[in-house]
Structure 1
Amino acid sequence: MSSTLPPGRYSSTTKPARSRRSMAWVAGAVVVLVGVIVAVVAYQKFAKSEIDAEITSFEIVDDSTLDLTLKVTREDPSREAVCIVRARSKDGSETGRREVVVPSGDDQTVLITTPVPTSRPPGMGDLYGCSFDVPEYLTTH
């Protein structure tokens, strides 16, 4: 008796080498793509920004005013910037917000103190964010 099967009657039990190679290329491409996406997200999240700012202190003046002091460091101090600061009540809700212009100058790091009017008694202050995109209504030109 012969152990050879008639051709075309039964399917092959092994995949051709060509199919395995193409699957390896596809898997490699997916790994590279995922790596690039992770690198881009990490760069955007952890790269040094052009403006670094932080609230250094706040003082509750009265039931409707909070004084905030923020420290702003810019790579290019010759450019005007804007920072948005806000006051929050003791329960954490926002009770006041203010846009603060950081004028151009010679110093990379500046301290700015600004009052923030509030609608309820303030409990703390925080920084919403900073940008070089100063709205036209805030510019002095």
Structure 2
Amino acid sequence: MTETHATVPPGAPVFPPGRYGRRRESGRRRPLTVVLLAAALLGVLVLAATQLYSRYGDPAYDAQVITYDDITDTGVQVVFRVTLPPGGTATCLLRARDHDGAEVGQEEVTVTAPGGDTQVTTRHRLTTTARPFIGEVLRCRPAA
């Protein structure tokens, strides 16, 4: 004969007391821990975003390749335009790659805007270790 209780719905299994351990109480499950973990995660994300923006995300320094020409076995001439704050100075990283995509030359170039100009067009000869296929500007940042 099975034991029935008034609080157990019909069809629900009845377990012998003490046999399967203690049942969990339904209710709060440490919301303070969850809130603290969420706040720590948010803090780490804000710190990472700030670091990445300061390193790569300054929109005041922007470069655009106009053309690359005069390609020889030892170099390429890159003509590019840099947008920067009025009278500012930027350091731009130029790169040359061969036909297979391998980097054959890299150099940092400092560009200064004369007077109150915000755009500077610069022509620079980039020396390479092999015949380049393309010359490009990877990034520009404020000069240190």
Specify if TM > 0.5.
yes
| Deviation string, structure 1 residues 41-94 (Cα, Å, up to 9, x no partner) | 4453485434222323212432222111222111x3323222121211112222
Q: Matches of 1:73 and 1:65 in 2, distance apart? A: 25
Aligned counterpart, 2:99? 90
Give the counterpart of 1:123 among 133, 137, 141: 133
Question: Which structure 2 residues correspond to residues 16-55 of structure 1 after superposition, within 5 A?
Answer: 20=28, 23-42=30-49, 44-45=52-53, 47-55=57-65
RMSD over aligned Cα atoms:
2.8
Q: Matches of 1:36 and 1:57 in 2, distance apart? A: 43
Aligned counterpart, 1:3? none
Residues 103/128 of structure 1: CA separation in 2 closer, same or farther (3 Å cut): same
| Deviation string, structure 1 residues 79-122 (Cα, Å, up to 9, x no partner) | 32221212111122221223322123221121111111222111
Look up the equivalent residue of 1:65 and give its one-letter code: G
Report the CA distance between 1:128 and its aligned residue.
3.4
- In the comparison of the two structures, how many residue pairs are matched? 121
Query: Please, which runs of 5 or more residues in structure 1 have no aligned partner?
Result: 1-9, 135-141
Q: Provide the secondary structure at the position in 1 that maps to 2:94.
A: strand
Bigger fraction of residues in helix: 1
Look up the equivalent residue of 2:64 and give its one-letter code: E
Aligned counterpart, 1:71? 81
Structure with larger Rg = 2
Q: Provide the secondary structure at the position in 2 that maps to 1:27.
A: helix
Residues 16/65 of structure 1: CA separation in 2 closer, same or farther (3 Å cut): closer
Query: Please, which runs of 5 or more residues in structure 2 have no aligned partner?
Result: 1-17
TM-score (norm 2): 0.65
Report the CA distance between 1:14 and its aligned residue.
4.5
Query: Is the 1:55–1:68 contact (alpha carbons within 8 Å) kept by the matching residues of 2?
Result: yes
Report the CA distance between 1:24 and its aligned residue.
0.6
Query: Is the 2:71–2:131 contact (alpha carbons within 8 Å) kept by the matching residues of 1?
Result: no
Aligned counterpart, 2:71? 61
Look up the equivalent residue of 1:122 and give its one-letter code: P
